[in-house]
Structure 1
């Protein structure tokens, strides 16, 4: 039976990865992250000590957790949370499956996953049945909003690019094709009366490799949805120096009007060594979602409590989780809260 179970999980994982690639020409993979991790690099092992009290609420025998590829922050965080879930829900196990922002939502909607990560700007698309989603997904809600993936446009400090419009005729890396950063970049170009045809060239490449091209003068800019600060950009700023290109207020407002998952965000002074003033942009927040039909109110309450009250453990894995708490989660929520999560946030005073 164990061999059969393993083969089924492997097959399910492969099918979800195919779905993710087909859905929008690609999908967040967690190793991207360029959207899903703080630097796009493999996460180092960290001490993760959680404090959970076992509960006797009725739970599934096994949870399935939609994360992302091995090496990305989503996969690492899902592994740490699944360990805590084993302590919280004694006698259960959790299988972490590689996926991505779109494929995780599809899996949640279909009942393949009990819980999973996604990007905040993808949630309204799923709820409304837009873009990668042929029909609305109505049985998914939020447990917690965790951290922002911030839209960056970085150029060399000696560049003549100071606005989105100045990218005309330039060569840009928008990250990996089909990832959230590229999709956001395309929308931003369109809102500024531009398209890829306005540029001299596009380089589909990861953040670290893109930084090498920018350093050597082979491209003019890097764009992406990244958890700030990006260590690759910090290093680049201390060597050749970089500038971050702001988005206009009109662009930020238009993005939010079209998709509530794009929230206004300011990259603060000092985030990078040469950032001397705040940079106006948007962010899409990583969210932990649940299938409403598979996760009861009691289980959702206990899951939300576990995630919020072990913030310190998650922050030890990556400092992108340093600002996360109950109030942060509620303030940046997009879409519907699970009734169990809502109960917890009201109990701790984060929600009226």
Structure 2
């Protein structure tokens, strides 16, 4: 992190009593938090790399539009989990890495830009699944590599516009704070305007996340009404080969939709605690300074938990990865020729 030469020093204070918290207590709590988050980061990055590898191998012959979106979604999460979130960890834990004015501006710009692009990619993926399940004929007509690239460009442009305004301190600004730990936050602009802060929140989080959950709700409810009766069929053998093939494709599409719905809902659950406290009860962070550490951890779990969900709920990617691991072991264990 780049640092300003005249950064202030600070102590950690108990805001309920007005007395300083013993440094040993504060350091112990911070060390535990750092260790927990470091382990979570390693696990999430490992699973993300494995998930990306499995998706790439699954589409080795021909990568589909949905796989392109999933790869983009996982790559954005990898950037957050392996780079941007660790920056927060180190600025909390190691004072010499505290944010300066310029490094804070750069960090917030890329963090919100990538997080916003990830959310819009999640929305694009939900629309892709909605068309695949309920409008298969239109899907094959309109969904192709070109249309996917257009939606991905849109996913990056929308958050970029609001982040440029924030970087110009128009309607909001990013700034470093040092009590009780050095970090980087977003505040109203020097003129007191804060409308861009709401724009960032709504355009980068609320709108795409709400649209994503709505799309998956339509998919799951509509599919239950349309295809639920087929669950009463005791044996697929009573169906014609064409019906069996159609049912198998539908089950595969719905399985992916359920997985992505759980992923989006999980992110919502992790997103709410920090957002609700900041919006409704910001005094809690002043009274309980360590609470801010753990709500950030919960928010990070919204990203870190997705690759685990993918492996638990996606038999296709899980099976593909396991088979690749076995194949690699077989190659490594093969005796070398003399």
TM-score (norm 1): 0.24
TM-score, length of structure 2 as denominator length: 0.25
Higher helix residue share: 2
Rg larger in 1 or in 2? Answer: 2
